[in-house]
Structure formats: structure tokens, C-alpha cells
Amino acid sequence: MIATLLLTTVGLMVLFALTYLWARRINNYGIVDFVWAYSFTAVAWHYALAGHGWAARGLVIASLATIWSVRLGSHLYSRVMSHHPQEDSRYVQLREDWQANFAPKMFGFFQLQAVSVVILSAPLFFPARNAMPAFNAWELIGTTITVLALLGETLADGQLKAFVRHPHNKGKVCKVGLWRYSRHPNYFFEWCIWVGLGLFACGSAWGWIGLIAPAAILHLLLNVTGVPMAEASSLKSKGDAFRQYQQETNAFFPGPTRSSE
């Protein structure tokens, strides 16, 4: 177990060191976002093959993680490269904040991404070591939630893209479909994916440790990189229209709309 985790950690640190060198070469540190997402695919299959558990269980959990990883990674790749060489505003801000000692701090930031993958991949680690030749209730529930959440996130993203593509909606706030019940349904379903993976892990010995992943993702989405940054950007671009949307619609968990009066 320790050897597998150590190998994973070292491999990820090398991967993100190389990613840092690539980012420095092209002068766009935003590429770390899609490398981070894609790296879960490699970790999931490494755990599945190295865990020596029941092959069907390893196949299911690795496949679920891969679907999420490839979908998110491809979305981020498209977003980052479509704006290249213009860098994501988060990294522009980091350049300003860290300008006195930028290179080592950014390298450290990239290495923290490697550590975060190891921590967040905990729900993938324990099931891969479970040799019991049958799926249990936790795994069935976790799989169901993960699949439904993947479908929900895909639907939310599709509704937003369709809204933005229509010229008549330029500058307007998307309130169609799932966006009528949550200001960030995509983030909500992203969290639900991790809830599903965490519950899947609970069917294996020590798998409850995997619940650290949905807890960490919820914190990040609500307090760090998710909702706060998206809300700030929307307020800047849409002003009072988005303020009204904030008064009428839940920020994260879906619910009925409210009167803005």
C-alpha cells in the first residue's frame, strides 16, 4: 500500500514538474488546470492495476473516474488553449502577487497540485484493494449517484452553452433549465460526482477515508476557486441583472426560485 502511494506521489510530482517547464516555455501557467484533471485517469488505472482487488470493482471505479477526468480535462483544455496566449485571470493575478519571487512560488504551486491529486484520489485507492468478488450496497449507491451527477453536469453545461451561443442572450443571465434552480448547477453536480465516488469507497476497508475528497471539493467550490470567483466575474460583466439573479436563486444547492422584492 505504502509503495503504491509513494510511487503515485513521485510520479505526479515529476509530471507536474514537467508541466511547470512546459508552462514556463509557452508562458501560460493555466495549462496546469487540464493536466490536473487528466492526471486522475492515470492514477485511477494505476490503482486499479496495482491494487490486486476484484477486477470488476477496479474496472468500474476506474471507468467512472476516467469519464469524469477526460470530460473535465477536455473542457479545460479547450478553454485554456482557445484563449492562448492570453492567460486565465487567476494566473495573471498570481503573477502580480508573487512577482518578487515568482518562479519558485509557482513551481511550489504546481507541486501542490500533485499532492492534491493524491489526496483527492483516495476514493479510487481503497476499492482497488478490495478482493471481495461482489458489489455491495455502498458501491451500487455510489455508482448510481456518480452516473446521475455526470449526466446532470453534462446537461447543465449544455444548457449554458446553448444559451451563450444565441446572439439574443449576449450580456444576459442564464436562467434556463437547471440554471433556474441553482446559480451553479454545474458545480453542484461536480460535487455530487465526488460524493458518489466517496460513497463507493465506503464499501471497502478504510474506504471512509475517501470521504475527504467530497468534503475538500465542497470547500473549494463554495469558498475558494468555484462559486466566489464565478460570482465575482458575473457581477463584473452583468451587474444588476446578476444581483437580481442572486436574490432569486440559490447559489449552490438547487431549490425553488424566490421573489427579488
Q: What's the pLDDT tens digit per position in 207-248?
A: 999 999 999 999 999 998 889 988 988 998 899 999 999 999
CA distance 252 to 186: 9
CA nearest neighbour of 9 among 121, 118, 112: 118
Give the amino acid at 35. Answer: V
Residues 174-189, mean pLDDT to the nearest whole number: 96
pLDDT in tens, 8-48: 999 999 999 999 999 999 999 999 999 999 999 999 999 99
What pTM did the predictor assign?
0.93
pLDDT in tens, 146-170: 999 999 999 999 999 999 999 898 8
pLDDT at 260 over 70: no
Domain boundaries, the chain: 1-128, 135-261
Write the DSSP assignment of the chain as a string of letters. -HHHHHHHHHHHHHHHHHHHHHHHHHT-GGGHHHHHHHHHHHHHHHHHHHS-S-HHHHHHHHHHHHHHHHHHHHHHHHHHHHHTTSPPHHHHHHHHHTGGGHHHHHHHHHHHHHHHHHHHTHHHHTGGG---SS--HHHHHHHHHHHHHHHHHHHHHHHHHHHHHSGGGTTPPP-SGGGGT-S-HHHHHHHHHHHHHHHHHTTSTTGGGGGHHHHHHHHIIIIISSHHHHHHHHHHHHTHHHHHHHHHS-SSS--------
